[in-house]
């Protein structure tokens, strides 16, 4: 689905990505993990065309991503960020209907698709008439996911979508989202700081450090056969309640 070949991206003296080669398989879920500043979000933004490489190339379905084809490219991708990235002056239906309206969808068609997805994402129908400030954090995230799915995209890109939620809501949404990904069969790329979350969602984990891929593979492979001491330290660094109780 995606291929990155020797992709580098810099912000002045700061390295975003440094000679990254990566293939993201169609229909699989890939989690990007690593410390802050490792290049996770930069990589995700390159996939959707919000950033451009200083060197190398990004391919989507075999074609090099270029500005001339960006609009058609983005219509095949759903993009989700923390708290859903909702516009506060629009109700939930207004938020999810923004792009379909620009494409000429009628209001009945938008409403029908929104209600179909609300049912799929376990969002109460009446939540579509509420404004973001009237929704819980979990509901805002569900609205963001519905917005990303409105055009039935081939790909979902999620940048720490559950990072701002409390543990119980996060736990429930993790289960719901994994079931949704399995049901829809889309290509999913997820950025998270949570190693357990990455392992829960992903077929493949890509661990980055200082703009480079340190190791990639199945979650168990990174735990059982770490490429170096950093991989071992990162994969086992998080505490659980049993460690401190």
Q: So where are the chain's domains?
A: 1-76+153-238, 78-152
- Cα(222)–Cα(83) distance, integer angstroms: 30
Q: pLDDT-based confidence at 85, cuts 50/70/90?
A: confident
Maximum Cα–Cα distance for the chain, whole Å? 57
- Cα(164)–Cα(157) distance, integer angstroms: 17
Contact call for residues 196 and 238 (beta carbons, < 8 A) = yes
Query: pLDDT by residue (tens digit) across 50-69?
Result: 999 999 999 999 899 988 88
Contact call for residues 117 and 184 (beta carbons, < 8 A) = no
Q: pLDDT-based confidence at 239, cuts 50/70/90?
A: low
Give the predicted TM-score (pTM) of the model: 0.91
Phi, psi of 139 (to 5 degrees): -70, -40
- Cα(242)–Cα(46) distance, integer angstroms: 39
Q: pLDDT-based confidence at 237, cuts 50/70/90?
A: confident
CATH 3.40.50.920: does it fit domain 1-76+153-238? no
Q: Cα torsion at 6, 7, 11, 16 (round to 10°)?
A: -90
CB atoms closer than 10 angstroms to residue 77: 20
């Amino acid at each position: 689905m995606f291929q990155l070949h020797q992709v580098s991206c810099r912000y002045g003296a700061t390295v975003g990505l440094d000679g990254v080669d990566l293939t993201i398989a169609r229909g699989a879920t890939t989690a990007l993990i690593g410390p802050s500043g490792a290049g996770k979000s930069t990589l995700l933004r390159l996939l959707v065309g919000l950033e451009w490489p200083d060197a190398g190339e990004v391919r989507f379905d075999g074609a090099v991503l270029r500005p001339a084809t960006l609009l058609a490219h983005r219509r095949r991708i759903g993009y989700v960020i923390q708290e859903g990235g909702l516009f506060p002056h629009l109700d939930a239906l207004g938020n999810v209907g923004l792009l379909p309206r620009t494409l000429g969808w009628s209001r009945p068609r938008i409403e029908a698709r929104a209600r179909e997805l609300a049912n799929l994402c376990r969002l109460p129908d009446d939540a579509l008439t509420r404004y973001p400030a009237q929704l819980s954090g979990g509901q805002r995230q569900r609205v963001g996911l519905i917005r990303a799915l409105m055009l039935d995209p081939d790909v979902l890109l999620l940048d720490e979508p559950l990072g701002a939620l409390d543990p119980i809501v996060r736990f429930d949404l993790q289960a719901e989202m994994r079931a949704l990904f399995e049901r829809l069969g889309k290509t999913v790329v997820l950025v998270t700081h949570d190693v357990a979350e990455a392992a829960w969602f992903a077929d493949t984990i890509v661990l980055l450090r200082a703009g480079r891929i340190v190791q990639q593979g199945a979650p168990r492979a990174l735990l059982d056969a770490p490429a170096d001491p950093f991989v071992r330290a990162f994969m086992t660094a998080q505490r659980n309640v049993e460690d401190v109780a």
